[in-house]
Amino acid sequence: MSNQEMLDKLRDIIVSQNITGCAAATQEALDAGLTAVEIINGGLSVGMKIVGDKFEAAEIYLPQIMMSAKAMNAAMEILIPILEQEKGPNDEGVGLAITYVQEGDIHDIGHRLVTTMLGANGFKILDMGVDVPNDKIVEEVAKYKGKKVLLVGSALMTTSMLGQKDTVSMLAEEGLRDAVKIMFGGAPVSDAWIAEIGADATAENAADAARVALNLMQ
Ligand code: HCB
C-alpha cells in the first residue's frame, strides 16, 4: 500500500466510525514509516473534516460524530506519546503555554494535539482544559505577569469563537495585554479574525502551531 493509500484508509476509517480499525491502521501507518504528524494532518483530520461536513448537511447525526471522535481518540492514544518524544531543538524551556478551549465549547481533540506539540517543542504547559471562562483565563495570566507567556486558545464553533474577542479586551482592561502573546485556533478562526480582535497569530494545525508559537516567543 502506498503512503497516500494508507492516509486515505485512515480518513475512511474515521468517516466510517471504525474505532478498533483506527488504532490498528494508525499502527500500520507508523510501521510503514509515516510520521505522527503526517498521519494526523493527511489522514485523521481529513476524515474529521468530512464528518463535520456530513453533519452540517444532515447526512449524519451526533452519535455518528461521537463514534468518529472515539476513533480519532483511539489513534491519539498511540500518537500523543510519540509526539511527546519528538522534542524540537528548543527543549530548554521557551516559555509557558497556557492552553484551553473557550467557554461553551467542549471540542478538545485539536486542543490536545496542539498542547502536546507545544510541550514537545519545549514549552512548559498549563492546560486549563475545555469550557474555560474568560475570567479564569485572565486570572491565570495575571499570576505569570513578567514571565514569557503564550496564551493558546481553541474554539471550534462560531459561537465560542466570539469569546476570544472578549479574552483580548478583558486582558487589555486588566493591563495584561502586553504581558502575553496570544494565539487562537480552531476551524472557524481566520487571519482576518485574529487581526480584527487584536490577537497575535493563528495556525492551521498542531505542527504549524508549534512553529508559529516558537516564532512568537523570539
Ligand atoms: Co462538533 N461541531 N458539536 N462535536 N464537531 C463541529 C465543530 C461543527 C463545525 C460541525 C458542523 O456543523 N459542520 C459544528 C460547529 C458549527 C459552528 O459553530 N460553525 C459542531 C457542532 C454544531 C456541535 C454541537 C453543537 C452539536 C450539537 O450538540 N447539536 C456540539 C457542541 C458541544 C459543545 O462544544 N458545547 C458538538 C459536539 C461534538 C462532539 C462531542 C460529538 C465531538 C467532539 C469530541 C471531542 O472533541 N472530544 C464533535 C466533533 C468531533 C466535531 C467535528 C466533526 C470535528 C472536530 C475535530 O475534532 N477536528 C467538527 C467538524 C469540523 O471541525 N470540521 C464538528 C479534528 C481536529 C484535529 O481539528 O480543528 O479541532 P481541530 O484542531 C486543529 C486546528 O484547528 C488547529 O490545530 C488542531 C490540530 O491539527 N488548532 C489550533 C486548534 N486549536 C488551535 C489553537 C491554536 O492557537 C492554533 C491552532
User: Containing domain of residue 16, as a range?
Assistant: 3-86
**DSSP-derived pairing of the beta strands 180-185 and 95-101:** unpaired
- On whether both 139 and 190 belong to a single domain, the answer is yes
pLDDT at 23: 96
CA 145 / ligand 1 centre spacing (Å): 31
| Nearest CA among 174, 176, 151 for reference residue 95 | 151
- On whether both 101 and 183 belong to a single domain, the answer is yes
CA 7 / ligand 1 centre spacing (Å): 21
Residue 206 pLDDT exceeds 60: yes
Q: Is residue 188 part of a domain?
A: yes
- Which backbone phi and psi does 3 adopt, to 5 degrees? -60, -40
Does ligand 1 have an atom closer than 6 angstroms to the CB of 203?
Answer: yes
Question: Which atom number of ligand 1 is nearest to the Cα of residue 156?
Answer: 7
pLDDT at 51: 95
71-110 as b/e: b if 16+ CB within 10 A: bbbbbbebbbeebeeeeeeeeeebbbbbbbbbbbbebbbb
CA 218 / ligand 1 centre spacing (Å): 31
CATH number at residue 209: 3.40.50.280
pLDDT at 85: 83
Nearest CA to ligand 1 atom 8: 52
CA 3 / ligand 1 centre spacing (Å): 27
Mean pLDDT of all residues in 175-204 = 97
127-137 as b/e: b if 16+ CB within 10 A: bbebebbbeeb
* Cell reading at 99: 492552553
In degrees, rounded to 5, the angle at the alpha carbon of residue 97 between the alpha carbons of residues 93 and 101 is 155
Share of the chain above pLDDT 90, in %: 90
Residue 37 pLDDT exceeds 80: yes
Residue 90 pLDDT exceeds 80: no
Nearest CA to ligand 1 atom 45: 107
CA 70 / ligand 1 centre spacing (Å): 13
Does ligand 1 have an atom closer than 6 angstroms to the CB of 54?
Answer: no
Mean pLDDT of all residues in 2-27 = 95
Total tally of structural domains belonging to the chain: 2
Does ligand 1 have an atom closer than 6 angstroms to the CB of 110?
Answer: yes
> In which band, very low, low, confident or very high, does the pLDDT at 70 lie, cut at 50, 70 and 90?
very high
3-class state of residue 130 by DSSP: coil
* Cell reading at 200: 497575535
Q: Is residue 91 part of a domain?
A: no
CA 161 / ligand 1 centre spacing (Å): 12
- On whether both 126 and 82 belong to a single domain, the answer is no
Nearest CA to ligand 1 atom 64: 52
Residue 202 pLDDT exceeds 60: yes
* Cell reading at 9: 484508509
CA–CA separation, 103 and 215 (whole Å): 27
Average pLDDT, the chain: 94
pLDDT at 89: 54
The domain boundary, picked from 86, 120, 139, lies at 86
| Nearest CA among 13, 16, 40 for reference residue 25 | 13
Model confidence pLDDT, tens digit, residues 154-169: 999 999 999 999 999 9
Nearest CA to ligand 1 atom 77: 205
Q: Is residue 197 part of a domain?
A: yes
CATH number at residue 50: 1.10.1240.10
Q: Are 85 and 37 in contact (CB under 8 A)?
A: no
* Cell reading at 151: 496564551
Which ranges in 121-190 belong to alpha helices (H)?
134-143, 158-173
DSSP 100: E
